[in-house]
Amino acid sequence: MTLFLTIYLFFLGLVVGSFYNVVGLRVPIRLSVVSPPSQCPKCGMRLKPRDLMPVVSYILSRGQCRQCGKRISPLYPMGELVTGLLFVWIYLTFGNSWDTVIGLLLVSMSVILTVSDLKYMLLPNRILLVFAPFFLVLRCLFPAGSIWLHIGGALAGGGVLLLVVIITKGGMGLGDVKLIFLLGWILGLPNLIPAFILACFFGSLIGGLLMLFKIVKRKQPIPFGPFLLLGALLSFAYGDTLIDFYRSILM
């Protein structure tokens, strides 16, 4: 049964990951997610079923449009594959539990927002508002400890990042504040703490490497949302272990 669900969730992740790409690319620029149908972003050729097989179509076409031959962004197959793998990871970590449901929703939101932030440096309110009611209800029904820890996580996370925005005078976007407010509700305290630490660590590491290899310029803004989401996913799954690790270092 576990093997069947693992395989099913992987292929489900590939399929919905393809849709999440569309949502992440269209919603920030206020386009419908259903119309117009999927097409080549370079020449406008309408994609046929053989062009829409997650990951497989990209490999068979060698990452090029069949009509114009222009390169197709690897963001598409990466979003599909990552979604499938993360769906499997969540299920194998939490099994048949409500945490799996919460985790799958968190993965879904993370993929969509990551695509949006990487492409446009935007974390659209409309995407956050679609997911927020589900997280609100699920955490009220299935809190990780006391419900007050989730309330405290939301207030602490949103408050700290809002302070950073004020101090840096816009060095970080309000979209990040709204996102960490929601992540604080999902994770609660103290699990929000390692999530934020990991986000800063990965953000500094990858940002530093991008500047070292001159992929981005020194003062060029880098989206922070993907790092917040990565930290949240890791803390959601391994929060207690991470907290014990930090305690062992400090004590």
What is the full per-residue pLDDT of the chain (251 aa) written as tens digits?
688 999 999 999 999 999 999 999 999 998 888 777 777 666 666 777 676 788 887 887 777 777 676 787 788 889 999 999 999 999 999 999 999 999 999 999 999 999 999 999 999 999 999 999 999 999 999 998 899 999 999 999 888 888 877 777 666 667 888 999 999 999 999 999 999 999 999 988 998 888 877 777 777 778 889 999 999 999 999 988 888 888 888 76
Q: What is the pLDDT of residue 42?
A: 66
How many C-beta atoms surround the C-beta of residue 180 within 10 A? 31
Whether the CA torsion 168, 223, 210, 70 is positive or negative: it is negative
Q: Provide the CB-side half-sphere exposure for 227 (13 A, CA).
A: 19
Closest CA to 143 of 195, 187, 89: 187
How many C-beta atoms surround the C-beta of residue 43 within 10 A? 12
Pull the structure tokens for residue 243. Answer: 């907290």
Q: What is the pLDDT of residue 171?
A: 60
Q: pTM of the predicted model, to two decimals?
A: 0.92
Pull the structure tokens for residue 48. Answer: 């046929």
